[in-house]
Structure 1
Amino acid sequence: TQMNSFLLSTASQQEIATLDNKIHETIETINQLKTQREFMLSFARDPQGFINDWLQSQCRDLKTMTDVVGNPEEERRAEFYFQPWAQEAVCRYFYSKVQQRRQELEQALGIRNT
């Protein structure tokens, strides 16, 4: 009966709902961190393959968003990716990832950058 009265009290229900929300948020955070870890491990295992896969993915996404049909034959050749834009794209990508990870780390550690 003590358990029933506890579960029925309004304050307890609010506390249970708050704790339930915290549990869901924690699980979501764990899932996000797992995805980020898998992303980084994929890069660590095979940096060149990772970049190649990423560039292909970004190219497909860009084509989908802009409805532009590229030249698959040209994109199949290595020379296509030795153009100046490719190096710039990789640099920008890694810079944005480093900044993203830095912000996440600062947020996790409670550091405020002024």
Structure 2
Amino acid sequence: GDDVRVAAFGPNYANEKFTPRCTAVSMGSSNNVQRELCRAKVLLVPTKAEGGPLVAAYAWALGVPVMMHNTGIAASCQECYARLTGDAAADAATALSIVRGADTDPRWQRP
């Protein structure tokens, strides 16, 4: 199988649904988002209604693939992201496909 490390950030990810399968990641007091994004193979932004999100722009600037709903800034840049469908199995398959092919897809070339 595939070995996947998921880092979830934000107050809504500390619930019992994720706890049994997750290891806590401490970012310390610096909250160095750039460092974490540079280590990422793909960024999933699950929100369905947000004007930004700014984190997607940060990821794009670093060449990190982004999966998100067609909302906010994504709506104006269709080729910049992979679309989340809401189907967990399909979205997981897409994320793995991106991770496996990130080096060959021109959308995900790191600067």
Same fold by TM (over 0.5)? no
Q: TM-score normalized by structure 2?
A: 0.21
Which has the greater radius of gyration? Answer: 1
Greater fraction of residues in helix: 1
Q: TM-score normalized by structure 1?
A: 0.21
